Structure 1
Amino acid sequence: MNKKELAAHCLTQTGAREDYPFGPDPLVMKVASKMFALISDEGGFDNIALKCEPETAYLLRQQYAAVKPGYHLNKQHWNTVVMDGTVPDEEIRAMIDHSYALVARKLTRAEKQSLGL
């Protein structure tokens, strides 16, 4: 998957939107005011940082060399996936969905209602 495909899948989530709070890079995907994905390129590869349950984050890092602790993020709760082709697209989509679900779950009742969640 490339940056466009990653962003397109993120935008399939209810209420997801693009933002650039840190300048032109990274592209930050948010639901309400909270980010659930950061998409950028580093070292010649696109990458995506995603929120993850700590145990799952650890297991994914053990399973895939391209999954690393979140770059400039809480390394217990965020993974960065290097898009080098070694992680199946279905797995990446599932990681995006998981990240969105974790973040959406923490929204306020009013934010959830405004998004229809």
Structure 2
Amino acid sequence: MNYEWLDEYCLSKKGSQKDFKVEWDATRYLIGGKMFAMQGGDKDKKAIITLKCDPLFTRSLRENYQHIVAGYYMNKEHWNSLYLDGDVPDDIVKQMIDMSYELVVGKLSKKAQKEIREEKLSLS
């Protein structure tokens, strides 16, 4: 598959920012200072994106797609890594990004969530 749209899609999320973590050799996508996606490589330098998911959805994805595995170097219950040379459909990848973003936003303070919602409204 061709996932060249990943960077633009992650950054399209309101309030999202990205940085590069040199020691991880990975690009992180953040909301409110918390990571919702990380694009880098596994121990063999194979390109992956790692995303937070609901635990039930996490297991389902791993069962249905061979290119989705337990989150590389992350909590295996809540994070999945997707190999970017795989064949997971774009709509599933977007659903995973959306879920990761929403799960992380949901853990932010009420004040931070309100600021993000207000930003969404003012930019709409």
Q: TM-score, normalised by structure 1?
A: 0.89
Q: C-alpha deviations, 1:92-114, integer Å up to 9, x for none?
A: 11110111011111110121122
Deviations 1:4-56 (A, max 9, x none): 52111101111111022444721000001110000013446431000001111
Alignment of 1:1-117 (within 5 A): 1-2=2-3, 4-23=4-23, 25-42=25-42, 43=44, 45-116=46-117
Large movers: runs of 4+ above 4 Å: 42-45
In 2, the alpha carbon distance for the partners of 1:11 and 1:45 equals 23
Greater fraction of residues in helix: 2
* Structure 1, unpaired ranges of 5+: none
Q: 1:21 to 1:114 in 2, by over 3 A?
A: farther
Q: Any unmatched runs of 5+ in structure 2?
A: 119-124
- Alignment partner of 2:8: what SS? helix
Query: What TM-score do the two structures reach when normalised by structure 2?
Result: 0.84
Count residues with an aligned counterpart.
116
**RMSD (Å), alpha carbons:** 1.8
